[in-house]
Structure 1
């Protein structure tokens, strides 16, 4: 039963959080490019970082999305970002617009979910055979 719960949680993480995050990052590949500085450091993969940059002559502070890298950078670190021209609050690090860590984590957690699902099926069939005998 525990294996099934773990499989469902990891599968949900992969399908509902990480795959959409990777798609969002990829959607910014054609965005406007700007030089930014890390404004708030934290767990960037969880979406707890923000950057400061110039867009259309004004200073913008925007949160990096879930799945971003750069969590080991310290506040003030320079980095290139891509942002939507019509909404500069939608931004991602240049290095992440290919899907980056979000895509890797999505595939990894999906694979581990399948392993736990297989373990659940094996355990259930083993239990059913024991009860039949």
Structure 2
């Protein structure tokens, strides 16, 4: 079971959180705009939307996975960075350094290593137990008192 958890945490880190952190960093040089939180929710999971003006039109865009600000209420003011050629690609200015995605990538990677080490230690323990139980000349009753002894 520990190995399965290690694989899942490793996959979360490598396939989801690390790319999310890279995506957030890619917007560091993006256009800057003042926005309002249009839809709040689990921003870290990518369930928040912001509303802002870009090139003279109003844009409502989803914040990417790894965004912070989940505790903010609808209508909260914030600053965002977006791609000039595609205003739908947006992130909170506070998150363009990698944000919570980078922290979660490191934490889930560390958790994966922890569970991997636990599964290796458990495998070594089980192998030693089996080897000790199958030692020649030893029976399962060795070392135990018999009822008539």
- Unaligned ranges ≥5, structure 1: none
CA displacement at 1:121 relative to structure 2 = 0.2
Flag the structure with more relative contact order, 1 or 2, with Cα contacts below 8 A and sequence separation at least 6: 1
Aligned CA RMSD, in angstroms, stands at 0.3
Which segments of structure 1 move beyond 3 Å, counting only runs of 4 or more? none
* Distance in 2 separating the partners of 1:48 and 1:112: 25
Secondary structure at 1:20 match in 2: helix
Secondary structure at 2:72 match in 1: coil
Instruction: Say yes or no: does 1:93 pair with 2:92.
Output: yes
TM normalised by structure 1 equals 0.99
2:68 counterpart residue number: 69
**Larger % of helix: which?**
1
1:110 counterpart residue number: 109
Q: How many residues align?
A: 132
Q: Which has the larger radius of gyration?
A: 2
TM normalised by structure 2 equals 0.88
CA displacement at 1:31 relative to structure 2 = 0.1
- Deviations 1:40-83, CA, capped at 9 Å, x for gaps: 00000000000000000000000000000000000000000000
- Unaligned ranges ≥5, structure 2: 133-149
